[in-house]
Structure 1
């Protein structure tokens, strides 16, 4: 039997006093009874050898695979993610990035920010940074 209670995640997405969110994110989540927090650095769509996926879809697939491996190393899953920041090389990547996030999270919504940036390497199209609680 687990001695620690599972964290309780409470969504705060007010309908008044602030602009409306879309279906793929919420304004905030409150985490109660968390025993651990995991802060994951920006993770790219690189394979095990460090090579970037050739397409945006390949990179998004690799990113989520890499994040699952990092989470597993801390005995967590994507269900533990409570915050995500995405860094996109081009604004046109926003829709594919959101779709990949929604699919990876099984439709669960979390606070999310997407920023268009110049990445450190031109073949890095997307980078994701997460916070997980367990």
Structure 2
């Protein structure tokens, strides 16, 4: 599998340093669609702070990816659902920490979560 980032610089607004407009995935063998993943521990208890929930989310995503023989390097698309727009910077920082220099198409949406304690939820598509 090969991925090619596409962020044209003419005719569309510029991409920021932490995402790309599009990711082309060539010849993937497998696709993994991960449901919205919350910042819950193994007992289903939400982290007490936004930072704790973001740590749990990325830990949960790593575990789910590993169950399919993948890592965060296989992520090709990410959607964040934020309970409050004030969470955007912390969410972006957690994504950058998790993905390192890799940039993927990402969208953040402000929503009302089903449970008030759920501050952030991430939905991921991975390819291998």
With normalisation by structure 2, the TM-score equals 0.99
Secondary structure of the structure 1 residue equivalent to 2:56: helix
- CA apart distance, 1:95: 0.1
Taking the TM superposition and a 5 Å limit, the aligned residue runs for 1:7-86 are 7-86=1-80
Q: How many residues align?
A: 128
Structure 2 CA distance, aligned partners of 1:107 and 1:55?
26
Report the 3-state secondary structure (helix = DSSP H, G, I; strand = E; otherwise coil) of the residue aligned with 2:24: strand
Distance 1:90 1:12 in 2: 29
Within 2, Cα distance between the matches of 1:26 and 1:90?
23
Structure 1 residues without counterparts, runs of 5 or longer? 1-6
| Matched residue SS, 1:53 | coil
For residue 102 of structure 2, what is the aligned residue in structure 1? 108
CA–CA distance in structure 1, aligned partners of residues 19 and 50 of structure 2: 21
Give the drift of 1:28: 0.2
User: How far off its partner does 1:22 sit?
Assistant: 0.7
Moved over 4 A (4+): none
Task: Tell me whether 1:97 sits opposite 2:105 in the alignment.
Answer: no
Bigger Rg over Cα? 1
CA RMSD of aligned residues (A): 0.4
**Residue 120, structure 1, aligned to residue 106, structure 2:** no
Distance 1:27 1:44 in 2: 25
TM-score for the superposition, normalised by structure 1: 0.95
1:129 is matched with which residue: 109, 123, 127? 123
Note the residue ranges of structure 2 that are not aligned, 5 or more in a row.
Answer: none
SS of residue in 2 equivalent to 1:123 = coil
